[in-house]
Amino acid sequence: MAPASRPLVMLAAGGTGGHLFPAEALAGVLAARGIEVDLVTDSRAARYAGHFPARRLHVLPAETVRGRSPVALARTALTLGLGFIKGFRLMRAMRPAIVVGFGGYPTLPPILAAHYAGFPTLIHEANAVMGRANTLLASRVTAIASGYPDICAGKPTLAAKAHHTGNPVRPSVIAAADVPFAALEPGGPVDLLVTGGSQGARVMSEVVPAGVALLDPTLRARLRLVQQARPEDVEAVRATYARLGVRAEVEPFFADLPARIAAAHLVISRSGAMTVAELGVIGRPSILVPLPGALDQDQLANATALANGGGAVVMPQSHFTPESLAAALTRLANEPGRLEAMATAARAMGRADAAERLAALVLTIGKIDV
């Protein structure tokens, strides 16, 4: 492999859409400026990267810490070690101007390899608290970009190289942001979007239909509901809404989810970093149910940040019951002014220019002239 004739930026992302989406947004901005972009990822994420705007895809061995047993830890260490060795050879062959990581264990081998091979490195942390992989890398990288301000507060060495860029979002999200929030009309339809993240969430299929069943019939008749459900839950959810006479579109996946967010008066969702970023850029009120049990409590931190800004209501999963949801929906439907204020507050927290801000930082750290 020969180095690129134009400046090369290598993006390291893997695992989930929460890591791939911001990398994809950055890749689009860099490519538009005439910069070569390669993607370094693991075999799992490579299956979902077919449309990623990269010149070339490089797959390195990577593994997430899945257990605390000596055997599991040794297996993870061996896999990451092999990824580092292959990554070091890759960096010496490709000679990138900079390597940018987006969190998750698949970014450890390429970022560490770039660091020890002597190339500039940058990590982007999308969540309101730094994840474990980025925490391991933070002291070694050249610079840190963040989706939220002050994630390095109390750590002067890290804070000195931290830059708040926001979370880059896809072009379809930017397009959806042009759709103004439609104020809720008295007695008019209530557009409700329910989504559980890229893999769906069983709790949404269990709680939301049961909560809708508890609504006053007059309010229930006003609902126009769009719900993402796991494939195994779709038919049961559809059957419940049909029995209740609720207009509902239920599918395992919506390719046009940003447009669906823009059409909603209210979104019920998990609070992954990219979901919260998209709610902010598009500017829609939400009820957020953070994923419980996460070691980093990143979804709780993301949801709390949006709620503290006035754009969301946080409902811990332990309190996310049909009764509490029905009460919240009733309260919000009866306060259209509050929904509009939440939409405005969410939008105020969004960073529609985050991809451009991150690209500018990449060019600076990588000493790239365009």
Structural domain contains residue 161:
yes
Structural domain contains residue 183:
yes
Do 188 and 100 lie in one domain? The reply is no
Q: Give 124's strand partners.
A: 145
Who has greater pLDDT, 50 or 306? 306
Written as six digits, the tokens of 196 are 């559980």
Q: Measured between alpha carbons, how far is 211 from 287 in angstroms, rounded to an integer?
A: 13
Q: Is residue 167 within 8 Å of 174, Cβ to Cβ?
A: no
Closest CA to 30 of 142, 163, 114, 122: 122
Q: Measured between alpha carbons, how far is 254 from 324 in angstroms, rounded to an integer?
A: 27
Query: Annotated binding residues, as ranges?
Result: 16-18, 127, 170, 198, 299
Is the predicted pLDDT of residue 68 greater than 60, yes or no? yes
Report residue 206's pLDDT band, with 50, 70 and 90 as the boundaries. very high
Q: Is residue 346 within 8 Å of 283, Cβ to Cβ?
A: yes
DSSP 338-354: HHHHHHHHHHHH--TTH
Is the predicted pLDDT of residue 18 greater than 90, yes or no? no
Q: Measured between alpha carbons, how far is 264 from 285 in angstroms, rounded to an integer?
A: 9
Q: Is 12 in a helix, a strand, or coil? A: strand
pLDDT at 2: 46
pLDDT digits (tens, 9 = 90+) for 173-190: 999 999 999 999 999 999
Structural domain contains residue 120:
yes
Residue with structure tokens 């972009």?
Answer: 37
What average pLDDT does the chain have? 92
Do 164 and 182 lie in one domain? The reply is no
Range 45-53 average pLDDT? 68
Range 33-44 average pLDDT? 90
Give the chain's length.
Answer: 370
Encoded amino acid at 305, one letter: A
Structural domain contains residue 3:
no
Is the predicted pLDDT of residue 66 greater than 80, yes or no? no
Range 117-143 average pLDDT? 96
Give how far Cα 242 sits from Cα of 29, 218, 221, 225, Å.
44, 16, 12, 12
DSSP assignment letter at 184: P
Query: Annotated binding residues for UDP-N-acetyl-alpha-D-glucosamine, as ranges?
Result: 16-18, 127, 170, 198, 299
Q: Give 9's strand partners.
A: 37, 98
Number of Cβ within 10 Å of residue 5's Cβ equals 7
Number of Cβ within 10 Å of residue 93's Cβ equals 11
Do 244 and 360 lie in one domain? The reply is no
Range 337-347 average pLDDT? 97
User: Phi and psi dihedrals of 254, rounded to 5?
Assistant: -120, 110
Closest CA to 349 of 282, 288, 261, 258: 282
Do 343 and 358 lie in one domain? The reply is no
Count the domains in the chain. Answer: 2
Do 158 and 295 lie in one domain? The reply is no
Do 142 and 15 lie in one domain? The reply is yes
Do 97 and 231 lie in one domain? The reply is no
Is the predicted pLDDT of residue 72 greater than 80, yes or no? no
Structural domain contains residue 370:
no
Residue with structure tokens 């509009």?
Answer: 340
Report residue 56's pLDDT band, with 50, 70 and 90 as the boundaries. very high
CATH number assigned to the domain comprising residue 256 = 3.40.50.2000
Full residue range of the structural domain in which residue 108 is found: 8-169+352-365
User: Phi and psi dihedrals of 204, rounded to 5?
Assistant: -65, -40
Do 341 and 360 lie in one domain? The reply is no
Q: Is residue 133 within 8 Å of 104, Cβ to Cβ?
A: yes
Q: Is residue 24 within 8 Å of 52, Cβ to Cβ?
A: yes
Is the predicted pLDDT of residue 5 greater than 90, yes or no? no
Is the predicted pLDDT of residue 87 greater than 70, yes or no? yes
Structural domain contains residue 53:
yes
Do 151 and 184 lie in one domain? The reply is no
pLDDT at 29: 96
pLDDT at 17: 64
pLDDT at 14: 78
Structural domain contains residue 202:
yes
Do 257 and 321 lie in one domain? The reply is yes
Do 213 and 313 lie in one domain? The reply is yes
Structural domain contains residue 1:
no
Instruction: Give percent of the chain with pLDDT exceeding 70.
Output: 93
Q: Of 2-6, 144-148, 165-169, which gets the smallest average pLDDT?
A: 2-6
Q: Is residue 250 within 8 Å of 241, Cβ to Cβ?
A: yes
Do 46 and 132 lie in one domain? The reply is yes
Give how far Cα 214 sits from Cα of 100, 210, 276, 329, Å.
48, 7, 28, 10
